[in-house]
Structure 1
Amino acid sequence: MKLKYLILCICLLFGASLFSQNDTITLTNGDRIVGEVKKMDRGVLIIKTPYSSSDLKVKWKKVNTIKSTEHFLIISSNGERLKLKGLQTHKAANINVVSGGDKAIHLTDIVFIKPVKDGFVSRLNASVSFGYNFTKASNLSQLSVASTLGYTSSFYSIGITFNSVRSNQDSVEEIQRTYGELAFNYFLERDNFLIYQSEFLSNSEQKLKLRVTNKLGFGKYFIHNNQMFLAGVLGVAWNNEEYEASLIQSRNSGEAYASLAVNMFDYNDLSLVSNLTAYPSLTEKGRVRTDFKMDLKYDLPLDLFVKLGFNYNYDNKPVEGSSYSDYVIRTTLGWEL
């Protein structure tokens, strides 16, 4: 019996040590939360507490004060990236200011917070979603898969995207569209960044066996706050295309490109991500390609979500026998980390 009490005391002491360095958050309504700040991103503060099996999510605009002794990476709305030791909120000209060391920043100007001590896994973000449709007539079936995986450090981020749609129907050749992307962002001062992307596309509608586009660009956030991001990119690209055997075998071209991306969030449980990119060719006179992407997501409990996605591709000079454009609409149910 004494041994059981000893083990219980050790467990209680260990549990107390885990939360001996608590972060304290006070909300605008006066409520006080004690726990561990995991991160703040896209207008939502995530807090781990000893009294809840799941993390608490609080809208950043509802936070009045925050206090912690840990090290943090903080990004402001003007793109400044600060590493602060400890956080302490105080009043400055009637505006709440977060300070750490010799740095200070207005609470309303913070768009990202992340503990620097976090390991590799805690810096990851991921999602996967599936959709399936079946129609008895002609045995029409369609399967769609969408997934993302990302890693964010103090000064760079890496992201992987994969989307695939396949459709089968009696007496009709299989229709498929597969898209993938690898992106590397290096963040500069004043909300500027460098970006390298490698994209691949396989599309039966446009007779594409494979299109690989490697892009290098310079980008800037025009709007970067807790409700939306708006960014633009200018750069150059090299496009390599392989078509079905009945058409021209390959097609290579150098291109310039301009891209505009918007990410809207903090609209209850809705968020919108959209991107428009134009590729005027530098080596094929008069050729212009355009890609448009849009994802509308509705968050559900337990980190689940429903997503409506739309992708559109246009080429004003396709190879003979293929279509000028192609689009896909997909509805999926998914989960995110």
Structure 2
Amino acid sequence: MKLKSVLFCITVLVALSAFSQNDTLVIANGDRIIGEIKKMERGVLTIKTSYSNSDLKVKWKKVSTIKSIESFLITASNGTRYKLDGINSATANEIIEISDNNSVINISDVVFIKPIKDGFMSRLNASVSFGYNFTKASNLSQLSLASNLGYTSDYFSVGATFNSVRSNQDEVEEIQRTYGELSFNYFLKRDNFLIFQSEFLSNSEQKLQLRITNKLGFGKYFVHNNRMYLAGAIGVAWNNEDFYEALNNNRNSGEAYASLEVNLFDFNDLGLVSGVTTYPSLTEKGRVRTDFKIDFKYDLPLDLFVKIGLNYNYDNRPIEGTSYDDYIIRTTLGWEL
């Protein structure tokens, strides 16, 4: 009796395992992969299989057909977003059928796929990276931290970013730079979006104890495909600055802003993200601020990566006794979800 129970349990487990492996890919060379689609973004599809200890990553441009009965969130290159139950592609013309409204999308026009059967956790993405340097001379030590957390829903996304650098040296005052960002994007038709961002910055070079900038704007993806994203935004901002007590000077200002960001990712394991934002003041005549960033990332096995980044900010009318600009170059090793 016990033996029959054990055999029954094994049979059920095997059946459940087989049921979960119900997504099928056919690659351009004819190879077939059966497993569970985890996501497709930035030109790479991730699929979990029963015959590999780690998830397989396949370039999306190498996929000729895809079939699944699961629920997915799909984004096309024109910005249209679909929430559908099951996808099925035809071999002849490489299209995905949207069964709920009898429409189709070319596979090459699909830029994002995310299964939504797992609820909240399936829509999260996160990364964290660390860097540390130490020099015997003057006991110089430097610690870097960079992290991101995001959530993507059917019609909006929420993200948070935190970067910090601390440098200590004998007989020298601590040097620090901390940056954080909270953002909310609401997706509109034709690859347009509304955006709200709240940023904070603190750095010792410009004697900034805290700068908080709240922004509201309208943005658009000019290019949105499986090789790169190029997006721009314009809007208004409110800037609140507190400086170190020794300066005894704080200020607030209204600003306009314009930004441009590019994300390149279909270059083997190398990726690049760069952006620039300019803030011409509306309340302080002649004042202009500019923020610039660029990050190079090299993907390693096991979802690890190495990142080299530069952040630079400039103010043509800084507070008296402080620097016009500040920048940080950092190298970190990290992991992403």
Interval containing the TM-score (normalised by the shorter chain): over 0.9
1:28 Cα deviation (Å)?
A: 0.5
Take 1:265 and 1:286, find their aligned partners in 2: how far apart are those partners? Answer: 38
Q: Residues 230-279 of structure 1, C-alpha deviation per residue, up to 9 Å, x if partnerless?
A: 00000000000000111143110000000000110020000001110000
Match of 1:97 among 74, 90, 95: 95
5 Å-filtered alignment, 1:215-294, equals 215-294=215-294
What code does the residue aligned with 1:14 have?
Answer: L
Q: Say if 2:113 is the partner of 1:113.
A: yes
1:19 Cα deviation (Å)?
A: 2.9
What does residue 318 of structure 1 align with?
A: 318
5 Å-filtered alignment, 1:1-337, equals 2-20=1-19, 22-91=22-91, 95-101=93-99, 102-337=102-337
- What is the aligned length? 334
Cα 1:3–1:213 change in 2 (3 A) is same
Q: TM-score, normalised on structure 2?
A: 0.96
Gaps of 5+ in 1: none
Cα 1:62–1:34 change in 2 (3 A) is same
Q: Is the 8 A contact 2:115 2:122 kept in 1?
A: no
Q: Is the 8 A contact 1:312 1:328 kept in 2?
A: yes
1:173 Cα deviation (Å)?
A: 0.5
Take 2:14 and 2:203, find their aligned partners in 1: how far apart are those partners? Answer: 54
Identity of aligned pairs, percent? 70
The DSSP-based 3-state class of the residue aligned with 1:20 is helix
Q: TM-score, normalised on structure 1?
A: 0.96
The DSSP-based 3-state class of the residue aligned with 2:10 is helix
Take 1:174 and 1:131, find their aligned partners in 2: how far apart are those partners? Answer: 17
1:5 Cα deviation (Å)?
A: 4.9
1:124 Cα deviation (Å)?
A: 0.8
What code does the residue aligned with 1:281 have?
Answer: S
1:284 Cα deviation (Å)?
A: 0.3
Take 2:7 and 2:307, find their aligned partners in 1: how far apart are those partners? Answer: 46
Take 2:212 and 2:36, find their aligned partners in 1: how far apart are those partners? Answer: 43
The DSSP-based 3-state class of the residue aligned with 1:95 is coil
What code does the residue aligned with 1:166 have?
Answer: R
Q: Residues 136-167 of structure 1, C-alpha deviation per residue, up to 9 Å, x if partnerless?
A: 11111111110111111111111110000011
